[in-house]
Amino acid sequence: MSDHYSALGVSRDASAEEIKKAYRRLARELHPDVNPDPASAEKFKSVTTAYEVLSDPQKRQSYDMGGDPFSQFGGGGANFGFGDIMDAFFGGGGSRGPRSRMRSGQDALIRIEVDLAEATFGVERDFEVETAIACSKCQSTGCADGASPATCDICKGRGEVQQVQRSFIGQVMTSRPCASCQGYGSVIKQPCSECAGDGRVRARKSLHVKIPAGVETGNRIQMTGQGEVGPGGGPAGDLYVEIVQTEHPFLVRDGITLHLSISVPMSSAALGGTVVIETLDGEQEVAFKAGIQSGHTVTLKDLGVARLRGGGRGDLIVHIEVLTPTKIGKEEEELLKKLAALRGEDSSTVKIHGQGDQGDRGDRGEKHDSGLFSRVRDAFHR
């Protein structure tokens, strides 16, 4: 006795739905109309017999018990009907009918550049897109003035044609979209001169978009119904506006935090002071204490980028770099030598900082930077 479960490639406890899916897949591959190979035809016959047995609860029970599944049902062999072939090839029997000329339009994507200030505070933009719009000449019917679609002479308005073919298992009837009307059931014999029967034309359209504060590169704004109008005047798709933020000359963005690097002279770093910097909110004073070291930062609260969802803004972090002069005059050299002598420093004064070193403490007992090793270590542990 043939192994019907192996023929379909399912387990013995497979559900009816699993058996049906397996049969659909194999029928599409092996049917003689699709695969003319004689070996495939024999396998298709075996698969068909297996499906007839396993899809019928009584026949399946008889087969599982070792009996002849066809003995009590009048005759042997497979009875492959029209409903099964439709189910195998189309996922269900019956007529599908004509398809509508009106279909949904495609979504569209456009990219808009914004600078850092616009991304931080938000902006409104007017722009133009080239897209498909409804044809005003024919009101999206696709027909010339006074004309209308005519019923297809081939399919008589059904949108599909049926063919009867003979095979070793008998007559098989299949349905296909009508080639004359492309499945619409009607033909446009007098198309519109503007849209050539499509019901839509290409044109430029002006749009307005509000870009919220806090956007960044990759964010998309959905404009519902502003995409392409569908064929036959179908509903328009959506337009997606993708944000591309351009680089700022001196501010660097990291999420909602902004970073700015400034350089201060060695003397100013030793004495402390203030500098004026340019921010997105205008000029701001930055104060730094005496003895500040390269790598130290000053945080200016709420001068960063706005949060896209939720209130408030991030911070602006100012990174300090101390400038050591590379060229000095004779008088400056003498002054520096005197300063070094007063501080007990010379070129051989070098201190190596380890992981546990908390850094040198200055003349006033203040904790200073723990050196290059700590800054590198901290950078990798952020």
- Is the pLDDT assigned to residue 75 strictly greater than 50? no
For residue 298, name the pLDDT band (cuts at 50, 70, 90). Answer: very high
Could you give phi then psi for residue 268, rounded to 5 degrees? -65, -40
**Domains in the chain, CATH or no CATH each:** 4-90 (1.10.287.110), 99-136+197-246 (2.60.260.20), 252-380 (2.60.260.20)
Burial of 157 (0-12, 13-18, 19+ CB in 10 A): middle
Most confident of 72-81, 140-149, 359-368: 140-149
Please state the rounded mean pLDDT for residues 233-239.
Answer: 93
In sequence order, what are the beta bridge partners of 151? 186
Residue 199 contacts residue 210 (beta carbons within 8 Å): no
Residue-by-residue DSSP string for 201-238: EEEEEEEEEEEPTT--TT-EEEETT-SPPBGGGBPP--
Residue 356 contacts residue 298 (beta carbons within 8 Å): no
Burial of 312 (0-12, 13-18, 19+ CB in 10 A): exposed
Please state the rounded mean pLDDT for residues 54-81.
Answer: 65
Per-residue model confidence (pLDDT) at position 86: 46
Higher-pLDDT residue of 333, 33 = 333
**Each residue's pLDDT tens digit, 125-146:** 999 999 999 999 999 999 999 8
Confidence (pTM): 0.61
For residue 168, name the pLDDT band (cuts at 50, 70, 90). Answer: low
Per-residue model confidence (pLDDT) at position 163: 76
**Each residue's pLDDT tens digit, 90-107:** 444 444 678 888 889 999
- Is the pLDDT assigned to residue 81 strictly greater than 60? no
Neighbours of 237 (CB within 10 A): 20
Query: H-helix or E-strand containing 116?
Result: helix 116-121
Cα 188 to Cα 239: distance, rounded to the nearest angstrom = 31
